[in-house]
Amino acid sequence: MTLNRRNFVASAALGAVASPLALAQNQPAAGYGKGSIKLSISTYSYWHFTETRYPIEKVIDHAAELSVEGVDILQRQMESDDRAYMQKLKRHAFINGIDLICLSIHQDFVSPDRDELKKHIEHTKYCIELAYEMGIPCIRLNSGRWGTIESFDDLMAHRGEEPPIEGYTEDDAFKWCIGCIEECLPKAEECGVLLALENHWGLSRTPEGMLRIRNAIDSPWLTLMMDTGNFMEDPYSKLEQVAPYVSFVQAKTYYGGGEWYSLDLDYPRIGKILKAVDYHGYVSLEFEGKAPADEGVPKSIKMLREAFA
């Protein structure tokens, strides 16, 4: 029998539906609630850019079964941008007791071509409006990268580093990126949607790059997003640098070996880093392992519950 949020509570009270071990794996850890870290699942955990998209409605179902609080939607995984589809997702999440908490989008603010930058600015504004339509309070923001290494597999082989376009410098790139984000801020404020800049390669590959962008823009509508798996060397000191400015966390796990690489992350240590800055928002699982998601996701959620208890 599949447990949704409502019959899970009832069955736990009666002790008649599942074994104590099964219930212990699904119920929140002691002290889990107001003022503590909340868990979420990224829809990306079930779809690693394969040919067939995994339905977001099913991820919402899985989140309810695992008794997590939220779902983080990868925009490229959406079936469409049709308004009826978005309202269907919002309804499905609500009746399952799930919050839609972040829309993870892609854009690239590193280019000497003003028309190209304008295209990405307009895409970002459009996605802010999509988030607003779905009642989502935050979007994942990319800084962008040079694109001198075309293949993502090759980029990962180079640990996310790539040379600038000939004739330009990183100072140029930061100027473009900061200017583009500033153009998006009025729309973010109008819609009440936070822009959360992630350590997602390119200019935001390092904490210094993330903080350079953040410190150049004086706005409460620009924050940082921590991806635990995107600082590939010496991650903990880097996570500590960005932690005071973080409004959202994405937590990578790699059961079965990573799609591109694997990191042996110490989540109790990461929990202490977040506790030190009084972080009490969402931690959203991004399962990036090769194990079947139906195995890797529950195992990851159990591990994260224990680490952040």
> Mean per-residue pLDDT for 176-205?
96
The domain total for the chain is 1
Domain-embedded: residue 14: no
Whether 78 maps to a domain, the answer reads yes
Within-domain flag for 9 = no
pTM: 0.85
Q: Which residue has the tokens 């903990």?
A: 236
Do the domain assignments include residue 212? Answer: yes
Query: Does residue 28 lie within any of the structural domains?
Result: no
What is the average pLDDT across 210-222?
A: 96
Instruction: Assess if residue 194 is contained within a domain.
Output: yes
- Among candidate residues 238, 298, 294, the one with its CA nearest the CA of residue 269: 238
The string of pLDDT tens digits covering residues 55-90 is 999 999 999 999 999 999 999 999 999 999 999 999
SS3 211: helix
Q: Is residue 302 part of a domain?
A: yes
Is residue 229 domain-resident? yes
Q: What is the pLDDT of residue 25?
A: 43
* Domain harbouring 299, CATH code: 3.20.20.150
d(C-alpha 5, C-alpha 270), whole Å:
28
**SS3 of 77, please?**
helix
Locate the DSSP E strands across the chain. 38-42, 70-74, 99-104, 138-141, 194-198, 222-227, 246-253, 282-287
Measuring CA to CA, which residue among 232, 300, 299, 307 is closest to residue 273?
A: 307
Position 22 scores a pLDDT of 41
Structural domain of 192: 38-308
What pLDDT band is residue 6 in, cutting at 50, 70 and 90? very low
Q: Flag whether pLDDT at 150 surpasses 80.
A: no
Amino acid found at 106: H
